[in-house]
Amino acid sequence: MGNVWEYIVVFLLAGVPWIEIAAAIPIAIISGLQPVLVVILGFAGNLLTTILVIYLFETIKNYLFKKRGELKESSKREARAKRIWNKYGLPGLALLGPILIGIHIAAFIGLTLGAAKNWTLLWTTISLLIWSIVFGVTAYYGVEAFKVFF
C-alpha cells in the first residue's frame, strides 16, 4: 500500500507547476503505490494549486507586472497558449494545457485573455480529471504490460 508520506509527496508534487499530474501520477504508480489513490491525490493536489492561481490571479498578475515591467516578448509557452486560445478558446486551452504548457500557465493565460474565473475553474477541473485518469490508466497498464513481457 505504501507509506502515508509517499502519498503526501504525490499530493504535493502534483501541485507543483512543471511537475504536475503528468509526472507525479506515473512516477508514483511505477513506484508501486496504489493507482486509484494516486490518481485521486494527484488530481486533488494539482486542482488545489490551480484554484489558488485562479483566485489569486490579480495578485499574481500585479506581482509579475511589477517584477518584469511591461511585457515585450512572450515566451514560447505563452505564444503556444495564445494560438490554442485563438483556435479552441478556453475549453481547448484547459484541455490541452496539462500536456502542452501546464495547467497553471493555461489557467493564468486564459484569465489574462479575458476568461471568467468560474469558467476557468470549471474547464481546468474537467481537464485535470480527464488527464489524471488518462495518466493513471496509462501508467498502470504500462507497468502491467512491462511485467508480462519481462
Contact 102, 112 (CB under 8 A): no
User: Domain residues of the chain, as ranges?
Assistant: 4-149
Contact 112, 42 (CB under 8 A): no
pLDDT value of position 131: 97
pLDDT value of position 72: 54
Number of neighbouring beta carbons within 10 Å of residue 116: 11
Which DSSP string corresponds to the chain? ---HHHHHHHHHHHTSTTTHHHHHHHHHHHTT--HHHHHHHHHHHHHHHHHHHHHTHHHHHHHHHHHH-S--S--HHHHHHHHHHHHHHHHHHHHHHHHHT-HHHHHHHHHHTT--HHHHHHHHHHHHHHHHHHHHHHHHHHHHHHHHH-
Contact 121, 111 (CB under 8 A): no
Sequence-separated (6 or more) residues with CB below 8 Å from residue 2: 31, 32, 33, 34
pLDDT value of position 1: 61
13-26 pLDDT per residue, tens: 999 998 999 999 99
Does residue 71 have a pLDDT over 90? no
28 or 18: which leads in pLDDT: 28
87-123 pLDDT per residue, tens: 889 999 999 999 988 999 999 989 998 899 999 999 9
